[in-house]
Chain A
């Protein structure tokens, strides 16, 4: 990731266990960037757009997004992030969810998601997928947010 300014990883995941497993495996892939974890959509959106340390005000970020959230659908967050007036519209969004429904996947890409990953139930595959994602994160370029 960007050398000069470290990229924050914003994880929106309602399941604490999933979040923990994801974080563990990302760390195992050698990613040491800060990870901010939110369990609901409202607080996540608040952080993303309004928090002084959030990506809108402060430096590049990457969003790991689950679609099943208690207060809203992950796609709502995706829409907010990717709409034309959003300062975060170029921020990479990785949808990481249990849904492998074709329609849902298509919809997410249509809305501008950058990567869609289905969480495998089998842990070996899950761990591997997250580690590969970590490797992937370590090489991608993340743009700065709009000034």
Chain B
């Protein structure tokens, strides 16, 4: 058969995996976009720094050029007019020149292409300064004509022109750099927009995906909540119905047990009564046989003798033993059914005192068996029915003493602890133990376990279990054959009276 694959119908599990994977990818991409944006911004900042730097270099060169032009102008003006204002202007400019030139040198130190022009400029500057100082000195000493004459031949004009050319070249170089850097800045800016755009798209995608997932989960959650609520309501109703059913069934069983056991007693009285009459009647019969044997042995045959002396007493003995046992069993059922109908009255019980009371009532048996009962203090108090609790624990302790291991003095330990709204009491012994396969059976009516060397009908634990159930608790046993048994009784710490539990 061909297997049909449906790629759309993903299982819930696969869908969940896919969603988790997609969201992880989305978030990773977002982080990457963030990092890229940060990188681009920092790069843009660096580029802006460089552009500013280029402008600064240009300004430096421009300043220097202004200064050397001013020197030249002042020198020439001073030579022609001998006006002291030119001298003043000259001196002012002379002070600024070395500073401006040093600045240009410092700013262009990173660019090898500008190193040579700067060096050349310094050379020219020194030459210009020398010649200009000479001219100024001559004019001051009144030899203005000499100065003018020398100016015409000392190459000053060529130097200044050369200086202009060099600075022009430097400007050109800086402008070239500026264009390059500005173009780069524009590119980075564009890249930044791209990154932001991609990040925004990613963000939108992740947000949409998250929305879908959340919506899906919310819908699912709502649906399961609704289902849960429905289930809960149904459950409450079911519990109520079941409780009512159980109570009815329990009452029915109690009534049934009562009627059956009661009505069984009536015929039993007859069986036992007439058996006793029979037994009484065998005596004269036996006497008759005895006399007949003595006086007329020929009329007594073997069969008659056996019937009167053995068969009849034996049959009557068995009937009596069986009916007596049956009577005990019926009484046990009656007792159980009566216990079930008894009104429960919860009260606060000091368990330590209660166990002490049981120990007192068993003192004789404990002494006889050489056993002891230890109470592991503190024993939590309980609010429950006194008679029922007394019967439960005295049965358990009595059993523990009764089924001691041969050759080992019995030690019974009673302990208790609280767990939430419930109390857990344990009656532990070092007795002969119970085979694990019989752990359920021992609580059944008329069922016993192990070596049958102790009197009893198998009623005690059935009674205990019925009582514990009646008190809203549970009982269980932990044991291995030969290594003692621990009976664990779990009871509500506060017993609510029947009928008050509802509503």
Contacts and interface: CB of A to CB of B under 8 A. Distances in A.
Chain A bound to chain B: yes
Contacts of A21: 269-270, 273-274, 277
Contact of A15 (B270, B275, B338): B270
B272 interface: yes
Interface stretch (A33-41, A115-123, A136-144): A115-123
Interface string B269-310: 110111111000000000000000000000000000000000
B266 A99 contact: no
Contact of A121 (B268, B274, B277, B338): B268
B271 to A, nearest CB: 8
A126 B277 contact: no
B276 A15 contact: no
Contact of B272 (A24, A98, A101, A122): A122
Contact of B269 (A24, A121, A124): A121
A101 B255 CA distance: 13
B265 interface: yes
A126 B269 CA distance: 8
Contact of B266 (A18, A101, A123, A124): A18
Contacts of B269: 15, 17-18, 21, 98, 119, 121, 123, 126
A112 B324 CA distance: 34
Contacts of A99: 262
Taking residues whose C-beta sits less than 8 angstroms from the other chain, chain B's interface range is 10 to 19
Contacts of A126: 269, 272-273
A122 B323 CA distance: 9
A12 interface: no
Interface string B244-272: 00000000000000000011011111101
Given A17-B269, A21-B270, A123 B275 contact: yes
Interface in A41-87: 68
Nearest to B330: A121
A24 B272 CA distance: 15
A29 interface: no
A55 to B, nearest CB: 27
Interface residues of A, number: 16
Contacts of B330: 121
B69 interface: no
B277 A122 contact: no
Given A17-B270, A17-B274, A122 B324 contact: yes
A129 to B, nearest CB: 11
B262 A98 contact: yes
A107 to B, nearest CB: 15
Contacts, number: 51
B275 to A, nearest CB: 7
B331 to A, nearest CB: 8
Nearest to A124: B276
Interface string A1-37: 0000000000000010110010010000000000000
Nearest to B275: A123
A26 B347 CA distance: 49
B415 to A, nearest CB: 36
A121 B272 contact: yes
Interface centre among B268, B270, B330 (most CB of A within 10 A): B270
A24 B270 CA distance: 13
Contact of A122 (B262, B263, B270, B327): B327
Nearest to A24: B277
Contacts of B274: 17, 21
A42 B276 CA distance: 32
A126 B271 CA distance: 12
A69 to B, nearest CB: 12
A95 interface: no
B451 to A, nearest CB: 29
Contacts of A108: none
Contacts of B338: 101
A98 B273 contact: no
Contact of B263 (A68, A101, A119, A124): A68
Given A24-B277, A121-B327, A18 B270 contact: yes
Nearest to B328: A121
Contacts of B267: 15, 17
A21 B273 CA distance: 7
Contacts of A15: 266-267, 269-270
Contacts of A18: 266, 269-270, 273
Nearest to A118: B265
Contacts of B262: 68, 98-99
A52 B265 CA distance: 36
Contacts of B263: 68
Contacts of B265: 98, 119, 121
5 contacts: A21-B277, A68-B266, A119-B265, A122-B327, A127-B273
| Top 4 A-B pairs, shortest CB-CB distance | A17-B270, A123-B276, A21-B273, A123-B272
Given A98-B266, A99-B262, A122-B324, 7 more contacts: A15-B267, A15-B270, A18-B273, A101-B338, A121-B272, A126-B269, A127-B273
